[in-house]
Amino acid sequence: MAHEEPTKSTPTTKLLIRNIGLILSGDLAHPILDADAVVAINGKISALGKEKDLDTTAATTTIDANGSTLAPGLIDSHVHPVAGDWTPRQNQTGWIDSCLHGGVTTMISAGEVHTPGRPRDVVGLKAMAITAQRSFAALRPSGVKVHGGAPVIEHGMIEEDFKSLADAGVRLLGEVGLGSVKDGETARQMVAWARKYGIQSTIHTGGPSIPGSSLIDKDIVLAADADVIGHINGGHTALPDDQITALCEQSQRGLEIVHNGNERAALLTLRLAKELKNLDRVILGTDAPAGSGVQPLGIIRLIAMLSSLGDVPAEIAFCFATGNTAKLRKLDCGIIETGRAADFVFLDYAQHSAGKTLLESVRLGDLPGIGMTIIDGVVRSERSRNTPPATKLTKVI
Ligand SMILES: [Zn+2]
C-alpha cells in the first residue's frame, strides 16, 4: 500500500486516454458523452472528443482503453476514517486502498468517530477535527482524496467555534446527532452557524448506531436542515416509510443512501426521488468502517443494486456516486468535463455476465470489472484485485 503526498509543483504532464468505448459523464443532464478520447494536462481534463479532433502530441502517459468504459472516479459520500489507512473500528489496515480497487477515488468524512477515546469537550473535538483535516490533506492513502476533519458537534459550542474551525480549514461537520446535540432547535442553530462559515453538514438519520447515538427522527432532521440527510435508509436502522416519505417531500436537501443501511428503505427513497423528479438529490456512501466492516465494493454494489432493483438506467445510477455528489459537495471531480480533476475509473462488463455491455450488465445487477483507476491524471491502480475480471482490459502503453 503506497502512501503518497499530494504533489505540489510538478513539471507538465499530459495524459492521453484513447480508444474509449463509452464515456459516462457523471452528469445527470447528459450522462453519456459522444467521445472516444480524453486529454488531461497536469491532472486536469483539458480536452475530450473524437481522437482525430484532439491535440494528442507529446503525451507523457498514453492509455489504451481497449474499448472499455470511462467514468469519473467514484465518490463515497459517507466514511468514518481515523488515521491514514488504518481503522480501529475493525482494526484493519489498507481499507482505503481496497476501496480504490472498488473504483472510489474520493471519500468524504462524516466524522472521525471511531478514534479511540474521542474527545467530547469543545476544545478537544476542535483540535481533533483540525488534526484530521491536516493529516488527510497532507497524506492521501494510495492517492485517494479523503476529505477528513469533520467534528461531531456537542452542546456548549458557540458561533465563534464554527468560525475558528472554518478559519483553520475545516469544511465539514461530522454527523449531527452522534454527539450530545439531539434536539432540533440546537442542531438547527449550529448547522446555520456552520453554513455561515462555509462548513457543510450531514445529519445522522434513523436509529442509533455507535454507543451514545440515539434515534434521530424526521422532525429533528427537518428542523436541523443539514445539507445532507445522512443515510436516509438508516445506518443501521431506517426510519418508518412515512417518515422517509416526509423527508423526501418536505426537504430539498441531499438524500444519501448508504451501503450499510436498509436496502428496502434505499429503494423506497429512490422511488420517491424519481416520482418527485429529484434524482439530482440522490448521493451514495458506504458508512464504513462500521460494525458491518468495510466494503471495498460498497459504492459499485449500490450502483448495481439501485439500477437493477430500482429500475434506473445504469448511466443514471453512476451519476448518484459521481456528479450528484460533486455538485452537492462542491468538489472539482465527479464529472468528465474540461477543467475538472482527471479522476477516472475504467470499467467493463465482467467475464461471463449475462449482460453483454457494461450498462446492460449493471442493469441486470452484476458488478462490473474495474480495469484501472486514475487520480489527478496519475494511474493509481490497475486491474482490480476486488472486482470480477473485466472482459476488456485497459493498458498503459
Ligand atoms: Zn456514519
Run means of pLDDT, 10 residues per run, the chain, 397 residues:
57 95 98 97 97 96 98 98 95 97 98 96 98 97 98 97 98 95 95 98 89 85 97 92 97 97 97 98 97 95 98 98 98 98 97 96 98 98 95 93
Ligand 1 centroid to residue 63 C-alpha, Å = 37
From the list 133, 131, 161, 154, the residue with the least C-alpha distance to 145 is 133
Reported for 186-191, long-range contacts at CB under 8 A and 24+ positions apart, including other chains, are 186/155, 187/153, 187/220, 187/223, 187/224, 187/226, 188/223, 188/224, 188/225, 190/153, 190/157, 190/162, 191/224, 191/225, 191/226
pLDDT at site 1: 44
Q: State pTM to two decimals.
A: 0.96
Contacts 24+ apart (CB under 8 A), 55-58: 56/16, 56/18, 58/14
Interatomic CA distance for residues 291 and 177, integer angstroms: 18
Cα of 395 from ligand 1 centre, angstroms: 36
pLDDT at 141: 97
- Other CB atoms within 10 Å distance of the CB of residue 370: 31
Report residue 204: phi and psi, to 5°: -65, 130
Q: How far apart are CA 48 and CA 34, in angstroms?
A: 9
Residue 234 has a pLDDT of: 93
CA of 76 to the centre of ligand 1 (A): 12
Distance 112 CA to ligand 1 centre (A): 9
Instruction: Quickly count: other Cβ atoms within 10 Å of residue 52's Cβ.
Output: 8
Distance 230 CA to ligand 1 centre (A): 8
Cβ count near 67 (within 10 Å): 15
Distance, CA 77 to ligand 1 centroid (Å)?
10
* Res 209: pLDDT: 76
Question: How far does residue 175's CA lie from ligand 1's centre (Å)?
Answer: 7
Residue recorded with cell 502503453: 397
Q: What is the distance in A from the centroid of ligand 1 to the CA of 299?
A: 15
182 CA from centroid of ligand 1 (Å): 15
| pLDDT for the residue numbered 299 | 98
- Residue 3 CA to ligand 1 center (angstroms) comes to 25
Ligand 1 centroid from CA 229, angstroms: 11
Query: How many whole angstroms from 290 Cα to the centroid of ligand 1?
Result: 8
For residue 11, the model assigns a pLDDT of: 72
- Exposure b/e, 315-352, CB count within 10 A at least 16 = b: bbbbbbbbbbbbbbbebebbbbeeebbbbbbbbbbbee
CA of 64 to the centre of ligand 1 (A): 38
CA 235 to ligand 1 centroid distance, Å: 7
Strands 104-109, 145-147: pairing kind: parallel
Nearest-angstrom CA–CA distance, 322 and 315: 11
